[in-house]
Structure 1
Amino acid sequence: MAEAHQAVAFQFTVTPDGIDLQLCHEALRQIYLSGLHSWKKRFVRFKNGVMTGVYPGSPSGLLVVVVSYMSSTKYAQIDPGLGLFAKLGKHLPVSTYMSEETQRVVGGVLVSTGLWVSVIFVMRSVLKSLLSWHGWMHARHGSVSMSTRIWMLLVKLFSGRKPMLYSFQSSLPRLPVPPVKDTMKRYLESVRPLMDDDKYKRMEALAKDFEKNLGPRLQWYLKLKSWWASNYVSDWWEEYIYLRGRGPIMVNSNYYAMDFLYVFPTHRQAARAGNGIHSIMLYRRRLDRAQIKPIFLLEDRVPLCSAQWERMFNTSRVPGEESDTLQHVNESKHIAVYHKGRFYKVYMFYDGRLLLPREIEQQMERILADTSEPQPGEQYLAALTAGDRIPWAKARAEYFSKGKNKQSLDAVEKAAFFVTLDDTDQHYDPDDPVHSLDSYAKSLLHGKCHDRWFDKSFNFIVFKNGTMGLNAEHSWADAPIVGHLWEYVLSQDPVNLGYNEDGHCKGKPHPNLPGPQRLQWEVSEDCQTVISSSLKVAQALADDVDCHIIPFNKFGKGLIKRCRTSPDAFIQIALQLAHFRDKGKFCLTYEASMTRLFREGRTETVRSCTNETCAFVRSMMRDETVSREERLRLLKDAAEKHQNLYRLAMTGCGIDRHLFCLYLVSKYLGEDSEFLKEVLFEPWRLSTSQTPLQQVDLFNLKEHPELVTSGGGFGPVADDGYGVSYIILGEDLINFHISSKRSSPETDSHRFGSNIKQAMTDMLDLFQLNDKKAKK
């Protein structure tokens, strides 16, 4: 069945008459097509590099400038070289080999090219200055001031035409370092509702001491780094928050994305894999050709950083004893597939082209039909990526550094991505919505702990009944980047690619397509012992996770906007109310915001438990002692405060990344700060994140409301806390993904879910929309 088909390019035999060469024309043809494909990709990358390197200019712009300059100087009888060659002739024998006319042409080309480069430099500098202004974020929703309109016009003027994905990278401003004084003020404001008077006075004293003494010294080093590096946070954030973590990345770091909620395009596992894998490879081709458009805000005027796309494919996290590293290769022509304890290498190209969906389905069918048993130690091998990092790093160095194991591990780690053909059924069941969705989420988050390669940039998972999903590693990029890929995949399947009436992919199988290659492993008993230990750690972690998914369809952003309130602020305040009802107290709350308005920006924290939010929550807990009007006023104050904090985080004026970098500098300098220690080790007992729907034009939810995704989620950050992810879909649906640990007596994901639904409903009732509608 699925065995390696080794094509031999030529054979030779020695005879009395000489050497007889027997060439295999098909093998040589495949070699030629493969080389042609590689050279095409190199050319496309070179061309895109040139186009991006000169943006907002263009090669055609250079031609226009050169021709215009030469034409004007010809009629004006001006030396276009400005005496350059005459001066060079005194030192170098350049002009002696050129006629006067040639000197005129070369001089004109050099001067006009210099002029063109200068114009590009000026345009980039002006654009960077324009993009450093964020006054447009403070305008009331739906209104645009005259100054913002003028600014938008200038941005459009200096932005160039037809930008590609990376066109704006050199024009984005650097992330600014906030003043220590401002960070201390905002930090103290954020912890005030969480501390009694005595604790707050103590923390206030520590903050003032830090601001006066150690803070300015640490700040000087951060300023120096911000001038030198592209981003003063991102490299340290990637290394210390992700790559230096020595615990399991499964559940603790990796996150997941779900399939459509109500649509089941086909129940054929191989067919769904065929369309899904083909769509992912189409996205990679668009990415290689830089055909993906940059992400913009504010009417396609404000570009976001695209740097995180660079390592989406052909990337794997490699374990180390002290720190992991990210291994990325420019080219990968295969994927790695796992099914029932066996690993396969599947090439995605044949005849110099990408395999069609039906051909990929054909390969998956061969894998599913394979009845061979896993090799010793192979079935649970991937558990190494699910357990602690140090045992995996030692095992990798000792058992996977040579021979078959190294070749097979290279095939997995250098694959475009990892695919799991899961042998379980997972889907949304209308007759049992709670259990079915909770089981689906847990399967995507951790599976069986040995059937996902958690180190890969992402795992594409296709279940036995045709449902699919993703599990993504976190260090290389944040969720919106993976979400952009997933939106494209869902939009291609089933609308654009589709299926036949019998559930197969459209098209026909290939009669001569070589089958998948079974990877070979030699796993010793000592290595199997390490695998068993990692699996035990991972299973204990997975069993402790309590997931709960809520498709909240009572109302959505449509009604919330009628309340003239930000949907995100509304949901965040509802989470605070739900948490207080759940635990009877407030807690330090993390909401992820992005800093991609700046070059190589990633995330910042919005501390959404504020004085204003707490005041509103307390008013809701006092029965009838507080009037509806007063509660409504407090709610609007809390929403406005939240929006201001979100704007500050997006514009580089957040708290936590600055404090994180100050702490690292203090460690490099060997300085101890009691203030920074306490700040950095405060637990986030409520960690939240919104998954944005970025490519709205791909899904017409008004005409096809069934084409809604379930969104995605992540594991709890604190042992006694909650992880909450939510996605706003259309006008009438919000999906919540809640996670916690069963071992904590303080948490219960289902209980918290009930509190969220009640909080959302209670808050909407304050606006009395039904009464207003009846009066009209």
Structure 2
Amino acid sequence: MTLLGLGRSQARSSAARLASQRPLSLAANFKHASAPAMSRYSSSSSTNSGGIGNGPMYEGQSAMPHLPVPALEQTLKKYLRSTVPHQSKESLAKTEQAVQSALSGADAKLVQTLQQRLEDRATKEGRESWLSEWWNDAAYMAYRDPVVPYVSYFYSHKDDKTRRTGPKRAAGLLKAFLAFRRLLETEQLAPEKGKAGPLCMRSYKWMFNANRIPEMPSDTAVKYDWKANNHLVVLRNGHFYEFDLVHNGQELSEAEIESQLQAILSDSASSKPVAQPVGALSSNNRDKWTESRKALAALPGNQQALERIDSSVIVVCLDETAPHSIESTAWGLWCGDGKNRFYDKQQIIAFANGKSGFMGEHSMMDGTPTLRLNDFALQALEAGKIDLGSTKRTDLPAPKQISFNTDKNVEAKIAESIGDFESLMGRHDLAVLDFQGYGKGAIKKFKCSPDAWVQMVIQLAYFKMYGKPCPTYESAQTRKFKWGRTETIRSASVESKAFCEAMESHSASDAERYEKFQAAVKQHLGYATAAADGQGVDRHLFGLKKLLKEGEKVPAIYEDAAYAASSTWKLSTSQISSEVFSCWGFGEVTPEGFGCAYAIKENSLTFTLTSLKLGAADLKHYINEAAVELRDLHLRLQQNDAPKSKA
């Protein structure tokens, strides 16, 4: 899973910019089009220069550096060391031999040739990123497993006590989303910035009026003209509806949107589950969905119906359920019933009791843009900075049902999709730890990086559960570079293993545990900084392997068992932190492992754990235990006037 928790300051700056703008009301801003204009992305799309606007949102984009190609020796030595915690002496000797072969042995000439090819690709072929086209294809567009649970992610919003029904909650969120959309599409949105300057904003265009299209061997994405497409698609009991969010040139008010959503709920046709829930097709394996969509589109009227969904601003799912606990809400957001969804779109999900969340379609955007969108919406609504409108017009066209024709072939595919989804999700578990013992504020008082602290908590918890470390993925954002997305932080290290062993040893002193914790944190921060600078291991090794030509022998490093084993992420971790989220989550990336989404809040920590019933609740228990033990270690040291952490 490739997400990273940044963007809260940008959400606030966007809210400030919004407050100074006039409400959107001019008819000239909108038009209708019978054939919606669109642009398309495929895995073969070029990353040559261009394709960005001139508005403030793209400030600094043209001067942004290109993703570097790391030095070969640096990568190989760093890779070797990252495998050590997971190897026996015998297997490590084989890996050392394979790395040495790449550095100065039998594979050295070929590996150096691959490095030169990669450097040429980065500097001599006119593209702005040597990685982007490959990575978007391998990690997303060509990935064939169902997007839920394996690719998409969800945010669970904190409750809004003033909006206690699904339509009311969704209407408020939509007004805030539309305000953000206006800033984005007019390029007035403030660019995200890191310590080194602006971050790449190219992915933002795929937030609204966009859709992932299943195709073989790789999916594509389409983006429609936002001015020509102001309709919203709503799902209720698997029925699709649409209505325009602009009437006579003026955006609907919150009350008017709520009224339209309520009209859908009041429609007797939507009161019972649809006989053939077409949305379920989007839950299946991408190849199966490709065939299903073709079969569906071939029937009269269905291609036009699909285009109405594809081109809509976003999809709103009005669910019949009313979850109460943090875990039941998370489960509903993560997957729902698989029928009242369209997984190729960004989706707002609103439950009958007003609880809500967001499901992110991950192919064209990582988590930071949608974090910013949701954080902006929730904070701006709470602060009263969204113009909700005051109109209550009585001449609004009624929502229209989007109907699909089906035949026995399509109906069989729908039944298969439902069965596959229910079987797959029935094998999963989910657990949420809402840890109230402390948060970022307390960790900083211990003079430690909050993210490094939490990563060590996760390492210790897994060690408690299994008695050994495992390959661990944490995402580092590389958007300081053109077309940048992510790089891997290999969080399990020689130092983190030593820390876990000391914490579990009855004979280790607190001073020894503290010393090893310090070393583990230092190692983690060093690796994280390097990864964010494009100096990680995984993308570089991926790029070198991609440039092998037919007939060239695969270097031993790729055939060594450690190469696959050390990147089988039994812990796939990522941080998204917002004070206005209850939790967030995603699925595991290997049948042998866990998804671990976490948030670091001022006074609490939240962990959402998913797996193929490996024991998410057990890992939750151990994370709680590890978090308490690490805090107590520091408190004991403070009481004994031990040296304080400098990490």
Give the TM-score of the pair, scaled to structure 2.
0.87
Partner SS for 1:344? strand
Aligned to 2:618: 751
Which of 192, 196, 202 is the equivalent residue of 2:94?
202
Q: In the alignment, is residue 708 of structure 1 matched against residue 583 of structure 2?
A: no
> How far, CA to CA, are the matches of 2:291 and 2:423 in structure 1?
22
Determine if the alignment matches structure 1 residue 630 to structure 2 residue 505. no
Contact 2:570/2:594 (CA < 8 Å) preserved in 1?
Answer: yes
Task: Provide closer, same or farther for how the CA distance between residues 715 and 390 of structure 1 changes in structure 2, counting only shifts above 3 A.
Answer: same
Structure 1 counterpart of 2:574: 689
Quote the residue 1:414 is aligned against. Answer: 311
Paired letter, 1:691: I
1:490 aligns with one of 369, 378, 382: 378
Match of 1:371 among 252, 268, 273: 268
Matches within 5 A, 1:112-511: 164-211=56-103, 212-227=108-123, 228-260=126-158, 263-298=160-195, 302-331=197-226, 332-372=229-269, 379-401=276-298, 403-427=300-324, 436-456=325-345, 458-496=346-384, 507=390, 509-511=392-394
Asked if 1:617 corresponds to 2:506, the answer is no
Shift of 1:670: 5.7
- 1:675 pairs, out of 552, 557, 569, with 557
One-letter identity of the residue aligned with 2:528:
Y
Q: Secondary structure at the match of 2:150?
A: coil
The change in CA–CA distance for 1:668 and 1:441 in structure 2 (over 3 A counts) is: farther
Question: How many angstroms apart in 1 are the aligned matches of 2:583 and 2:69?
Answer: 34
Q: Which one of 602, 607, 610 corresponds to residue 736 of structure 1?
A: 607
Q: Larger radius of gyration, structure 1 or 2?
A: 1
Please name the residue that 1:562 is paired with.
445
Q: Which amino acid aligns with 1:738?
A: L
CA shift, 1:560, in A, is 1.1
> Which AA in structure 1 matches 2:257?
I
Cα distance in 2 for partners of 1:669, 1:602 equals 32
The CA distance in 2 between the partners of 1:255 and 1:295, in whole Å, is 21
Structure 1 counterpart of 2:595: 723
SS at match of 1:184: helix
Aligned partner (choices 546, 551, 565) of residue 664 of structure 1? 546
RMSD of equivalent CA atoms: 2.6
Deviation of 1:330 after TM superposition, in Å, equals 2.5
Q: Give the % identical residues.
A: 29
User: Shift of the alpha carbon at 1:673?
Assistant: 3.5
> What residue is the counterpart of 2:22 in the other structure?
none
Q: Deviations over 1:134-170 (max 9, x none)?
A: xxxxxxxxxxxxxxxxxxxxxxxxxxxxx82111111
CA deviation profile, 1:374-426 (whole Å, cap 9, x unmatched) = 99976421111101111211122233145311111111111111110111012
Change (3 A) 1:365 1:770: farther
Deviation at 1:34, TM superposition (A): 5.4
- Per the normalisation by structure 1, the TM-score is 0.73
Residue 449 of structure 1: how far off its partner (Å): 1.0
Higher helix share: 1
User: Whole-Å Cα distance in 2 between the matches of residues 53 and 410 of structure 1?
Assistant: 26
Q: Retained in 1: the 8 A contact 2:53–2:187?
A: no
| Uncovered stretches (5+) of structure 1, i.e. residues with no partner | 1-31, 43-49, 55-162, 428-435, 500-504, 694-706
Q: Show CA shifts across 1:455-481 (max 9, x none).
A: 11x111010001110111111111111
Q: CA deviation at 1:268?
A: 2.1
Query: SS state of the match for residue 369, structure 2?
Result: helix
Q: Are the aligned partners of 1:340 and 1:379 in contact in 2 as well (CA < 8 Å)?
A: no
Aligned CA distance change for structure 1 residues 540 and 264 (closer, same or farther; 3 Å): farther
In structure 1, C-alpha distance between the alignment counterparts of 2:474 and 2:335, rounded to whole Å: 23
Distance (Å, rounded) in 1 between the aligned partners of 2:73 and 2:170: 54
Change (3 A) 1:621 1:326: same
Deviation per residue, 1:543-596 (Å, 9 max, x gap): 122111111110111111111111111111111110011111111110111111
1:528 aligns with 2:411: yes
Per-residue deviation, 1:771: 5.5
Contact 2:61 2:198 (C-alpha < 8 Å) held by counterparts? no
Q: Which amino acid aligns with 2:493?
A: T
Distance in 1 (CA, whole Å) between partners of 2:258 and 2:331 is 26
Shift of 1:373: 5.7
1:607 is matched with which residue? 490
Deviations 1:307-347 (A, max 9, x none): 11121111111111211111111222112110012101111
Contact 1:342 1:378 survives alignment (8 Å): no
Name the aligned partner's letter for residue 579 of structure 1.
Y
**Gapped runs of 5+ residues in structure 2?**
1-24, 38-49, 643-647
- C-alpha separation in 1, matches of 2:386 and 2:176: 11
Given that 1:334 and 1:415 are in contact with CA atoms closer than 8 Å, whether structure 2 keeps it comes out as yes
Amino acid at match of 2:96: E
CA distance in 1, matches of 2:552, 2:338: 40
**Is residue 251–residue 714 contact of structure 1 (8 Å, CA) maintained in 2?**
yes
CA distance in 1, matches of 2:385, 2:262: 19
The aligned counterpart of 1:131 is none
Deviation at 1:369, TM superposition (A): 0.3
Deviation at 1:641, TM superposition (A): 0.7
In 2, Cα distance between the equivalents of 1:377 and 1:421? 14
- AA matched with 2:293: R
Range with bigger deviation, 606-615 or 764-773 = 764-773
Distance 1:770 1:610, change over 3 A: closer
* Greater relative contact order (CA < 8 Å, ≥ 6 in sequence): 2
CA deviation string 1:572-621 (max 9, x = no partner): 11111100111111111101111111111100100011111111111111
Give the direction of change, closer, same or farther, for the CA distance of 1:710–1:366 in structure 2 (3 Å limit).
Answer: same
Query: What one-letter code is carried by the residue in structure 2 that aligns with 1:312?
Result: M
Count residues in correspondence: 592
**1:583 corresponds to which residue?**
466
Counterpart-to-counterpart distance in 1, 2:56 and 2:338 = 39
1:245 partner SS: coil
Letter in 1 for 2:292: A
Cα deviation digits, residues 507-532 of structure 1 (max 9, x gap) = 45311111111112111111100111
Change (3 A) 1:269 1:770: farther
Asked if 1:654 corresponds to 2:546, the answer is: no
Which of 383, 398, 401 aligns to 1:515? It is 398
What is the rounded CA distance, in whole Å, between the counterparts of 2:341 and 2:330 in structure 1?
14
From the superposition, tell whether residues 33 and 757 of structure 1 become closer, same or farther in structure 2 (CA, over 3 Å): closer
